[in-house]
Structure 1
Amino acid sequence: VSLVHSGLSAALSITVLAIDPIQDWVHSCSPLAVICLSVSTGYFIYDFYDMVVGALYVRAHGILVHHIMVTTCYVMALHCKVAVPYLVVMLLLEINSIWLHSRKLMSMVGFTLANRVYAMTWHALWLSFYTTRVLLPFAVHVGVTLDRHRFPHVVYVGCSKAYNKERHLKHK
Structure 2
Amino acid sequence: MFQDWNDNKVRLFSVRVVCFTHALLSSIMCLTWLFTDPNFIRDPFTYSSPSANYVFLFSVAYFIYDMADMVCHGELDASKEYIVHHSLVVIGFIAFVHFKQLHGLALLGLLVEVQTIFLHSRTMVHLLYTGMELPKSVDIIVNANMICLFLFRHIPICSLLYQLVFESQPIHWFFKAFLIVGLTFLEYHNCHLTISVAQSDGFFGYERQRMDEDNIDPLGSVRKEKERISNQGTPLNKKSQ
C-alpha change, 1:50 and 1:31, in structure 2 (3 Å) is: same
2:24: which partner in 1? Answer: 7
Give TM-score scaled by structure 1 length. Answer: 0.87
Cα distance in 2 for residues equivalent to 1:84 and 1:147: 18
Shift of 1:162: 4.5
Kept in 1: contact 2:161–2:180 (CA 8 A) = no
Shift of 1:144: 3.0
Match of 2:118 among 99, 107, 118: 99
Structure 1 residue 156 corresponds to structure 2 residue 173: no
2:165: which partner in 1? Answer: 145
Match of 1:117 among 137, 143, 150: 137
- Matched letter for residue 30 of structure 2: S
* Root mean square deviation, CA, Å: 2.5
- Larger relative contact order, structure 1 or 2 (CA cutoff 8 Å, min sep 6): 1
1:134: which partner in 2? Answer: 154
- Matched letter for residue 35 of structure 2: A
Matches within 5 A, 1:63-74: 63-74=82-93
Cα distance in 2 for residues equivalent to 1:109 and 1:132: 27
Q: List alignment gaps of at least 5 residues for structure 1.
A: none
Q: List alignment gaps of at least 5 residues for structure 2.
A: 1-17, 193-241
- Write the deviation string for residues 1-49 of structure 1: whole angstroms up to 9, x where unpaired: 1111000111111000011121532221113311111111111111111
2:213: which partner in 1? Answer: none
Give TM-score scaled by structure 2 length. Answer: 0.63
- Write the deviation string for residues 92-136 of structure 1: whole angstroms up to 9, x where unpaired: 111111001101111111177852211111111111112112112
1:56: which partner in 2? Answer: 75
SS in 1 for 2:31: helix
State percent identity of aligned pairs: 22
Match of 2:99 among 80, 89, 93: 80
C-alpha change, 1:143 and 1:149, in structure 2 (3 Å) is: closer
Cα distance in 1 for residues equivalent to 2:62 and 2:101: 21
Shift of 1:58: 2.3
Give the count of matched residue pairs.
171
